[in-house]
Amino acid sequence: MFHAGPWAEAFIAGVSGGAEDAALEYLRVFCRAAHALPGDLSGGGRAERFSALARAALDRAGIGGAEAELARRFAALMIRRGCFYQHKRIILGIERLIRARKGRVDALVESAVEPDGELIARIEEKTRLLTGAREVSLDIRVVPSLIGGIRLRVGSLLFDGTLKYRLRKMAADLKAGSLNPFPASREL
């Protein structure tokens, strides 16, 4: 299974002086350009061909700098290592790391009904406290099958306060016998 995280971390580690956004934009451009190349995008020969074409395009456009060079070499490395087909996942990982460096976090809120402004503000504040982020971006989705309550996803963390979850947990507990409504009487 492919893991984009190490690729994203390597890209960020190669960027100097807080120029992550510029380097990422160059990488996006190079990935779009690589898709325009005919044939398979894997192997050393393809990587060298792509690298030469990208360098020539940068020279023609008069674009230089460490960010452009890093992005060109990184795209060529993805092609050489045969994982260019995962470039979208790698770019998403880079975006997440950049947001984290800037103190921003994305969270998904699922609710049975559209939450009001007060609840959204409380969720943002709790998410800031949980993650230590300065800024929280909430993606709010209405999922009627949740019955009631909310479910919050922040990265790999899941906080489930939905009625659907509580009912399932109660049913599982009853089935397992852990919630005995009629405890055995004790004789004194």
pLDDT at position 181: 56
pLDDT at position 36: 81
Decide the pairing of beta strands 104-111 and 135-142.
parallel
pLDDT at position 21: 92
Q: Is the pLDDT of residue 165 over 70?
A: yes
Nearest to 150 by CA among 110, 117, 116, 115: 110
pLDDT in tens, 7-18: 999 999 999 878
Q: Span 154-173, mean pLDDT?
A: 89
pLDDT at position 186: 47
Q: Span 1-8, mean pLDDT?
A: 91
Question: Is the pLDDT higher at 128 or at 38?
Answer: 128
Predicted TM-score of the model (pTM): 0.64
Phi/psi zone of residue 81: left (φ > 0), alpha (ψ -120 to 50 degrees), beta?
A: alpha
pLDDT at position 27: 94
CA dihedral of 133, 29, 33, 63, whole degrees rounded to 10: -150
Question: Is the pLDDT higher at 178 or at 177?
Answer: 177
pLDDT in tens, 68-116: 999 999 999 999 999 999 999 999 999 988 988 888 988 999 999 999 9
Coil/strand/helix, residue 42: coil
Spatial CB neighbours of 14, under 8 Å, sequence gap ≥ 6: 23, 70, 74
Q: Computed over its alpha carbons, how large is the radius of gyration of the chain?
A: 24
Q: Is the pLDDT of residue 2 over 70?
A: yes
Q: Span 117-128, mean pLDDT?
A: 94
**Token pair in block for residue 53:** 């074409």
Give the CB-side neighbour count of residue 53, counting CA atoms within 13 A.
Answer: 17
pLDDT in tens, 17-67: 789 999 999 999 999 888 888 877 788 888 898 999 899 988 998 888 899
Average pLDDT, the chain: 88
Alpha carbons 51 and 38: distance in angstroms, whole number: 15
